[in-house]
Structure 1
Amino acid sequence: MKEAPENIEDFPELQAFQQIKYASEESTKEDNALTHKNDGNQWFKKKMYKPAVTAYTEGLDQKCADKEINAVLYTNRAAAHYHLGNHRSSLNDAKEALNLKPDHLKALNRTIDCCMQLKEYGEAIQWCDKALQIYSSDKKIQDLRIQASKLKKSADKEKRKKQLEEKKQRAAEEKLIAALKVRNLRFVSDPVEGQDGEPEEQAKAFVTSLVSNEPSGRHMVSLDDEGVLQWPVRFLYPEHGHSDLISAFNEDTRFIDHLEVMFSSKEAPPEWDQERKYQVTNLKVYFEDYDERKLVELNADLTLKAGLQHPRYHIVGGVPTFFVLSTATPYHEQFLKKY
């Protein structure tokens, strides 16, 4: 071999040689621990950190009584873990080294570095203070403490901002749920009532169920400053396989108000209705009764709120949906016959 493999487990011959290396009856646990440490150092110098971790671990597995050797093994393994990006494991090893040797400078530096990487700035400051009690003039640790202090202030500020936003979000969700409840609307799935879990979790699940991942973007009912619900509403035109999504349908506006805009004689017709069969005067609005699978006609002069409060209407998937048909085409009667 020109170079050693990273995974010695794949080479039984090398494992056999390694066993011979540590098979001396004259070797003590301390001797074997040092040999594994030296092996680990060789791997580390080659920047092969995984086998370095393995070697340092085997050294610790010798369970020798020399605290100095064990402290070095923990510190070195912490360094190997750090280079692998295993900052939590590196921190744990550095702490173990400090339990054995509280004044170990490399271990102290490693704990601080790991805490900084893990964004645990408060703990980093604590370790800096412990280190400065022993090495009061260490410039690197002094600088790290200043840096950790600044980052902690920034992180605390960001945390408070996030908590405030979450509080506002919860308050908005509670207002929305209260507004929905007072209107006696029916949903296909309502986790707020009769479900296990904390009320806050139930409310969160309910609000989440109202979010719709529409192709044009996520849409969800919202409550404006005047206490009026703004719904995403979909109109389906089954005769042509088309649909329209009104992203903010004010619950106090009528169906006819939207239809008059969408099918105005003053505007160009939709591409699928070049013959202008869909005119306000011949349009009818229906919805499907979720329980009985029957079609129910709605008066287009009704407001959206009145339509949603219809005793047979259920909101499915957070987006109220209605069929729009034209009595000027034979398809209207054909569609009704399906129900």
Structure 2
Amino acid sequence: MEEKQPKKVLSEQERLELAAQLDKDLDAFISSLEKKRYTEGWPEDRWEEEMAKHPFFMQKSPEPGEELSPLMEGLQQLKYDPQENTEQELADTYKEDGKFYMQHRKFRMAVLSYTEALRYKVGDAAYKAILYNNRSAANYMLKNYRTSLQDAQKALELNPDYDKARWRAAQCASALDRFELCVKLCDTILQRDPTNTAAVEMRKACLAKKATQQRDSRKEARQEREKQERWDRLVTELKKRMVKFEERKALDDERFLRPRLAPLEDFMVSCDENGVLSWPVVFCYPEFQTTDFQQQLLETTTMQDVLEQLFEEPLECDKAGLYRAKKVNVYYENRILGLAYLVDKSKTIREIVAERTFVAFQGTLTFYILVKGSKQEESFITQTRIPLKIEY
């Protein structure tokens, strides 16, 4: 029998030297292998992006229109393939999708999912009622109150005992100011649950809003009636005075009587309860190319009185102090005839407007003030005016 040789015991130094030699041999072996580029996995510079697209690692659902990875497309086809799923399974799948989107506040996607689920004619009335109610909830969050109300009412048709759908319908009716419907729904809710404080508060708020709306409607109707009465009275007085306007349909629509100049645009000719007119008036100073405005000049005022008021304080541009009531003449233009006419300052505004040659423009009276006997007056009188071609 062969005798066993005793096993040699290595010292600590020898062990370290042997380990170093083995590491060196392994490195030499790896270096001698053929080097090949790794092409099977994700690129180093885009591995995080690619991982995010992987169905097992993605943290959010793909957005509509976003390109899907082949694996994701395959899983979706398997999930929604009518060849692999029954109609009930597909309806359930879309129903769960809708729930998922609702939880993540993707309300538009939830609406689409519940709509897809409703396309399948499966499930009993209670099942369909849930789908309609869920879609109603999604539309409500999108503030599509009319559509939400329709879905909630459809859910109630399918399941008259569906309290969630009834409450959603009441919320929509309130948002749409359909007060009678809202009160009716709240009454039904309270018949079934008299302790429902939310329904009590909504019913109370709805009745208050209804009362306010009715009050506002009556006020609006009264204001509209009064506005029409003022307009009719104004038209009557203008016709009585035979006032002429450049605009052919000036008395058919108040828009033609509204002044266009900024200082006067809020002061249309008006008629008080005694039948007295107040006119917006422009006073032009051709010498200085500037203007004065009277927003509500009573027709009972004489032109002399108007001038006295205008020149109570000297015009800033009148350095010579020539513009005084007794030193000026006043004219108006008839643009249809292309002529200027001197105003009798002793006449009232009503008498001047009643003259056969006076024509108002854009609901405004326009007068020109010049110093008597001045070159500016002579130039104003003799200037060439091209008549407007207007047919009455």
For Structure 1 versus Structure 2, the TM-score category normalised by the shorter chain is 0.7 to 0.9
The one of 307, 311, 317 equivalent to 2:356 is 311
Distance 1:283 1:272 in 2: 15
TM-score (norm 2): 0.75
Residue 236 of structure 1 aligns to which amino acid in structure 2?
C
Write the distance in 2 (CA, Å) between the matches of 1:322 and 1:64. 82
Partner of 1:13: 68
Tell me the amino acid that sits aligned with residue 255 of structure 2. T
Query: Taking structure 1 as the reference length, what is the TM-score of the superposition?
Result: 0.86
Conserved 8 A contact 1:34-1:69: no
Deviation at 1:137, TM superposition (A): 4.5
User: Higher Cα Rg: structure 1 or 2?
Assistant: 2
Equivalent residue for 1:281? 326
Give the structure 2 partner of residue 141 of structure 1: 199
Match of 2:273 in 1: 225
Give the secondary structure class of the aligned counterpart of 1:321: strand
Q: CA deviation at 1:319?
A: 1.6
Q: Following superposition, which runs of at least 4 residues in structure 1 exceed 6 angstroms of deviation?
A: none
Distance 1:284 1:139, change over 3 A: same
Contact 1:213 1:219 in 2 (8 A): no
> What is the alpha-carbon distance in structure 1 between the residues aligned to residue 284 and residue 122 of structure 2?
77
SS at the partner of 2:323? coil
After TM superposition, the structure 1 = structure 2 runs for residues 173-252 of structure 1, keeping only pairs within 5 Å, are 173-191=231-249, 202=252, 206-216=253-263, 218-252=266-300
Q: CA deviation at 1:228?
A: 0.6
Instruction: Give the match's secondary structure for 2:331.
Output: strand
d(CA) in 1 for partners of 2:86 and 2:366?
80
- Rounded Cα–Cα distance in structure 2 between residues aligned with 1:231 and 1:241: 22
Amino acid corresponding to residue 290 of structure 1 in structure 2: R
**Letter paired with 1:243:** T
| C-alpha displacement of 1:12 | 4.3
8 Å contact kept, 1:115–1:121: yes
Separation in structure 1 between the aligned mates of residue 380 and residue 109 of structure 2, nearest angstrom: 71
C-alpha distance in structure 2 between counterparts of 1:86 and 1:258, whole Å = 60
Q: Which residue of 2 aligns with 1:196?
A: none
Alignment partner for residue 107 of structure 1, among 165, 177, 184?
165
Deviation string 1:163-208 (CA, Å, 9 cap, x unpaired) is 2222222222221221222111112225377xxxxxxxx5xxx223
SS of equivalent residue, structure 2 residue 362: coil
In the TM superposition, residue 257 of structure 1 has moved relative to its aligned partner by 0.9
Aligned-residue offset at 1:26: 4.1
Question: Is this contact kept in 1: 2:250–2:256, CA < 8 A?
Answer: no
AA at the equivalent of 1:162: E
Q: For the structure 1 residues 66 and 296, does the alpha-carbon distance in structure 2 shift closer, same or farther, using more than 3 Å as the test? A: farther
1:71-86 mapped onto 2 (5 Å cutoff): 71-86=129-144
Shift of 1:60: 2.5
Instruction: Flag structure 2 segments of 5+ consecutive residues without an equivalent.
Output: 1-51, 53-58, 385-392
Instruction: Report the equivalent of 1:49.
Output: 107
CA distance 1:103–1:303, shift in 2 (3 Å): same
Choose which of 123, 142, 162 in structure 1 pairs with 2:181.
123
Higher relative contact order, chain-length normalized (CA < 8 Å, sep 6+): 1
User: Where do 5+ consecutive residues of structure 1 fail to align?
Assistant: 194-201
Amino acid at match of 1:11: E
Aligned-pair RMSD on alpha carbons? 2.4
